Chain A
Amino acid sequence: MPNKVIGRSIWVFHLNSGSCNGCDIETLDVLTPYHDAERFGVKLVVSPRHADVVLFTGPITIESLPKVIRALKAMPRPRYIVALGSCAIGGNIWHASYSVVGGVPKLLEILKDEGVNVDGVFYVPGCPIRPESIIYAIALIKGIAKKKVKMKVKKAEP
């Protein structure tokens, strides 16, 4: 059995940093009776001060960056980020744009300079993410499911 990252019920805070709302709609879909994330103790809270995990969507526009840092500072330790969608992971089609930071990996470097510690980051690729992939990420945090992807290095024989 894989290790549990968070043993208790996960209280999530939904943080949008300039997303197109595709991932946000799918996040709400997870909380409906059809997918029902409350089976795993997931509860949506309205303040980052109550949250264990922040559901992070969007490529982090420069305008939203100070607010994102403020929200993450307000979270109690241990704090976890779940980066939802390809915007939050790699910046999607805006990765080289002047007005976005371009993903959580780059945000973590900024947070390091600001002195904000993040205990763990989970990446959930998809554009937009399926509700099932969010449930799979929750199962990963709760230690129900096993990680499937791994870095692959293939060599083309000449």
Chain B
Amino acid sequence: MKKNPLSLLTIASSKGRVTKRYPFEEPLMTSEFRGKIEIDESKCIGCGACVNACPPNALELLSSSGTKTLRYFIGRCIYCWRCIDVCPVGAIKGTREFELATDDVSDLYELLIHEEAKCSVCNSPYATVRIVRYVATRSPSTEGYVSMDPKCRQEKFVKAIEMRFGGLSA
């Protein structure tokens, strides 16, 4: 059956427009949507919990001389927000940002540079300054050995055993 073309106009005018006007209007955004994460540089302690939890290794902890860098590559992130769940200090929070298109891949990197603490005995770097302070405030009983790296800590423990019992093999 052939329809009058003008009847289409009446249908179209009664139904209205379905096409979204984006980018000239706000996008449809639900509260469940997960976008890019944001790392708070005043809270992060550089422990690496997020690095272990990240499935595609978008968050990486890189060591160089005297600094530890937490590198976030947005181009590899899958927006699972597991890092937010595991962060012990709540430094990572999620945003609803998705307009991340760019013409240069280096725009998609975010770096957070941490200073490394040095061992009080052998002067070699072993952890970030902030994590050492975090451990010292959370459990004050570690005061005697928190400023040493694991190797020196081990040697100190062995020496103490030797002093007390005269050796490890009895």
Q: Which residue of B lies closest to A102 (CB)?
A: B76
List the B residue with the shortest CB-CB distance to A134: B101
Write out, one digit per residue, whether chain A residues 116-150 have a CB within 8 A of any chain B CB (1) or not (0).
00001111111100101101110110001101111
* Interface residues of B, count at CB 8 A: 46
Is A112 close to B, CB under 8 A? no
Q: Determine the distance from Cα of A90 to Cα of B73 in the docked complex, in whole angstroms.
A: 8
Q: Which of A11-19, A33-41, A43-51, A68-76 contacts B (4 or more CB under 8 A)?
A: A33-41
| Segment among B51-59, B146-154, B156-164 that sits at the interface with chain A | B51-59
Query: A1 contacts which chain B residues (CB < 8 A)?
Result: none
Contact of B103 among A93, A121, A125 (CB under 8 A): A121
Question: In the complex, which residue of chain B has the Cβ closest to the Cβ of A38?
Answer: B19
Which residue of B has the minimal Cβ distance to A145?
Answer: B23
| Cβ-defined contact, A140 with B76, below 8 A | no
CB distance from B130 to the nearest CB of A (A): 6
Chain B, Cβ-Cβ closest to A94: B56
Residues facing A in B100-127 (CB within 8 A) are: 100-115
A156 touches B23 (CB 8 A): no
Q: Are A156 and B130 in contact (CB under 8 A)?
A: yes
* Docked-complex contact B46 and A156, CB < 8 angstroms: yes
Contact of A155 with B41 in the complex, beta carbons under 8 Å: yes
What B residues does A158 contact at CB under 8 A? Answer: 114-115, 129-130
- Name the interface residues of B45-75: CB closer than 8 Å to any CB of A: 46, 55-58, 73-75
- Tell me whether B76 and A91 are in contact (CB under 8 A): yes
Neighbour of A126 across the interface among B100, B102, B103, CB < 8 A: B100
Q: Which bracket fits the contact residues of A? A: 35 or more
A89 within 8 A of B: yes
How far in angstroms is the closest Cβ of chain B from A117?
A: 16
Set of chain B residues within 8 Å of A91, measured between Cβ atoms = 56, 76
Check: B27 CB closer than 8 A to any chain A CB. Answer: yes
Identify which of residues 4-40 in chain A touch chain B, using a CB-to-CB cut-off of 8 Å: 5, 33-36, 39
Q: List 10 A-B contacts (CB under 8 A).
A: A86-B56, A123-B103, A125-B75, A139-B23, A140-B102, A140-B103, A145-B23, A153-B113, A156-B130, A158-B115
The 6 closest A-B CB pairs, nearest first, are A90-B76, A89-B75, A158-B129, A137-B101, A127-B78, A154-B41
* Additional pairs, 16, CB under 8 Å, beyond known A95-B76, A126-B98, A140-B103: A34-B19, A36-B20, A39-B19, A86-B78, A92-B56, A122-B103, A126-B100, A132-B98, A133-B101, A136-B99, A140-B102, A147-B102, A149-B100, A151-B107, A154-B112, A156-B115
A binding-site residues for B, Cβ under 8 Å: 5, 33-36, 39, 86, 89-93, 95-96, 103, 105, 120-127, 130, 132-133, 135-137, 139-140, 144-145, 147-158
